Structure 1
Amino acid sequence: MATLLHIDSSALTEGSVSREVSATFREAWEAENPGGTVIYRDLAAAPVPHLSADGITAGFLAPDQRTPEQQAAFALRDELIGELERADAVVIGTPMYNFTIPSSLKAWLDQVILMGRSAGEQPSAAGTPVTVVSARGGSYGPGTPRESFEFVTTYLEKVFTGMLGMDVDFIVPEFTLARVNPAMAQFAETADASKARAHEDADRRARELSAKVAA
């Protein structure tokens, strides 16, 4: 049966567009895979700890050479990497915070990137499709004044393809603050259209990936 790894990283539980659109992806995936498994991690509700010295050094030692602290730290890394390896597809909801990803998502990435296993010459989850819902309050696309300030998709593309060997695709709802920030009121309809398109893209992407997994 197909397995989906679903990760949310927005600090907001209400009004989060990245959560809403990642949920649309999950709903479509579950509709196509009624007997499948969903592994869900809410990195805001249950944060993954930052990578520690014990977690780093344990990766270079044989199991019988690790201290109890190193064993505990590596056990978490092994659990998180295992979830990534079991997934037939991954969907990640992330907002843009100060031009980049939330620290909670960075902490998860640092835990799952392990040279010689998930990263390196033969990444253990190579080829697995990743759909990232990258929501942002304004617009940072090509040709916009703040294009050069965008470090969400640019960073995640390099991490997922260059380090983990995965196949990453982005869904980008923009102007998410237009309905709550009076200064952005002129972009409200643009925001609505972008959000609607993101939901459509998430639904379509989930169904397309489900079909590939089933083939």
Structure 2
Amino acid sequence: MATLLRIDSSASGDNSKSRQLADAFVAQWLAKNPEGQVVVRDVNANPLPHFTSETLGALFTPEEERTAEQKAIVAIGDELIDELEAADVVAVSAPIYNFSIPSTLKSYFDYVARAGRTFKYTEQGPVGLVNKDAYMFSASGSFLENTPYDHQLPYVKTFLNFIGLNVKDAFVAGGQALGEDGEKAFSSAKDRIAEAV
């Protein structure tokens, strides 16, 4: 049975355009995978602790020497990585907040980036270990894609590729604060999803 891991991060709930694009993708994916399972990781509804010196200290402490508090910290990342490794396909939805991703999604990235689990260092440079396909769904108030102000998509693609996720496509609805132009962009992104899945 195929498994799709959906990672949502918008704070706008059902009004979120990035979530609505992911909804359209999930519906199309389930139509092609009727026995498939969708696992939802909503980092807005269930935010992760920020990555701090305590987090780093726990990860770098040998397992047999960790305190109970350190074991609990490491367990957060273990659960997220297990969930990621178990999926066949990954869908990431994120709005653009202040030219980048929500901090809740950044925390998720910090926890799943673990040497020896999701990537490794080699003489030729880092190599991702997750090895599966991913799709990106994004929305912004103005049209930022392919401009110097778009720090979101390049960053997300770089990170996902770093841990071994191959970004097959990114669906972007810009101009969501600009009325009719934004509506057209959203509709166009949804149409592309229907064609791509």
Q: Do both share a fold (TM > 0.5)?
A: yes
Letter in 1 for 2:185: S
Give distance in 2, aligned partners of 1:32 and 1:57. 44
Give distance in 1, aligned partners of 2:145 and 2:21. 19
Q: 1:102-141 maps to which residues of 2 (within 5 A)? A: 102-121=102-121, 122-126=127-131, 128-141=132-145
Q: Measure how far apart 1:165 and its partner are.
A: 2.0
Check whether the contact 1:50–1:111 (CA below 8 A) recurs between aligned residues.
no
RMSD: 1.5
Q: In the alignment, does 2:182 pair up with 1:191?
A: yes
Q: Of the candidates 188, 193, 197, which is equivalent to residue 202 of structure 1? A: 193
Residues 60 and 203 of structure 1: is their aligned pair in 2 closer, same or farther, counting only changes over 3 Å? farther
Letter in 2 for 1:164: I
Aligned to 2:2: 2
Check whether the contact 1:85–1:124 (CA below 8 A) recurs between aligned residues.
no
What number of residue pairs does the alignment pair up?
191
Give distance in 1, aligned partners of 2:81 and 2:194. 26
Letter in 1 for 2:173: P
Between 17-26 and 164-173, report the one with greater CA deviation: 164-173
Q: 1:20-39 maps to which residues of 2 (within 5 A)? A: 20-39=20-39
Check whether the contact 2:145–2:174 (CA below 8 A) recurs between aligned residues.
no
Q: In the alignment, does 2:155 pair up with 1:155?
A: yes
Residues 204 and 55 of structure 1: is their aligned pair in 2 closer, same or farther, counting only changes over 3 Å? farther
TM-score by length of 2: 0.90
Q: Measure how far apart 1:201 and its partner are.
A: 2.1
Structure 1: where are the runs of 5+ without partners? 180-187, 208-215
Three-state SS of the structure 2 residue aligned to 1:109 is helix
Q: Measure how far apart 1:172 and its partner are.
A: 0.9
Identity %: 35
Structure 2: where are the runs of 5+ without partners? 122-126
Letter in 2 for 1:166: L
Give distance in 2, aligned partners of 1:37 and 1:130. 16
Q: 1:66-77 maps to which residues of 2 (within 5 A)? A: 66-77=66-77
Q: Which runs of 4+ in 1 moved over 4 A?
A: none
Give distance in 1, aligned partners of 2:193 and 2:92. 11
Q: 1:78-89 maps to which residues of 2 (within 5 A)? A: 78-89=78-89
Aligned to 2:124: none
Q: Measure how far apart 1:132 and its partner are.
A: 0.8
Check whether the contact 2:142–2:177 (CA below 8 A) recurs between aligned residues.
yes
TM-score by length of 1: 0.83
Give distance in 2, aligned partners of 1:201 and 1:120. 34
Letter in 1 for 2:24: T
Q: Deviations over 1:137-160 (max 9, x none)?
A: 111234xxxx21111011112111
Q: Higher strand fraction: Structure 1 or Structure 2?
A: 2
Three-state SS of the structure 2 residue aligned to 1:14 is helix
Letter in 2 for 1:29: W
Give distance in 2, aligned partners of 1:200 and 1:137. 20
